[in-house]
A = this chain, B = another copy of it.
């Protein structure tokens, strides 16, 4: 696990994110979650073996089960915390803004940048949802509803204030989320554009999509 290998950089950054994310955890749990996030994002939940996760985290195959009851449990913890940080980011962006236009720009821009910066977690949040158990799905669904609500709220605020001109509010809200969410599908750390640039482009496009003219 030396710093010179290079292959574990993103795993380490996720482990750091997990450790700093409120919810306190031990270093081993953070390392396991980082390893799992890397593997799930790279190959998908079902293509990832518990042996793979364990070895990425520097543990034996049995070592995983001391900290998580199942592979699905590991996915759930990642999905839950991913949804939480994504929602927190959105709510903070909406609160900090002075006008609906500012709010929408930093909402869609920030959410897009988040999906680039944390594209492993982003993929898990957006594309591994169906692999959660029914109970775990329900828990996460609650967080997803909050996210939708924030976007629709800002859209409605802008319509009320006269800044926005929107024909179909639910359809437009979905399109705005698509703009940000789909970043997790195409983003790769190798591309030229930085997460900040992506956020700026998509934030501007979002405003353009709804501004009255």
Chain A contact residues, CB within 8 Å of chain B: 43-47, 126-127, 130-131, 167-168, 171-172, 174-175, 177-179, 181-183, 185-186, 193, 197-198, 201-202, 204-205, 208-209, 213
Contacts and interface: CB of A to CB of B under 8 A. Distances in A.
A205 B47 contact: no
Contact of A178 (B47, B179, B208, B213): B179
Contacts of A172: 201, 205
Number of copies: 2
B183 A171 contact: no
Nearest to A128: B44
Nearest to A204: B167
25 contacts: A43-B130, A44-B44, A44-B45, A44-B130, A127-B127, A127-B185, A167-B201, A167-B204, A168-B201, A171-B193, A171-B198, A171-B201, A172-B201, A172-B205, A175-B179, A177-B182, A178-B178, A178-B179, A178-B181, A178-B183, A181-B185, A205-B209, A208-B208, A208-B209, A209-B209
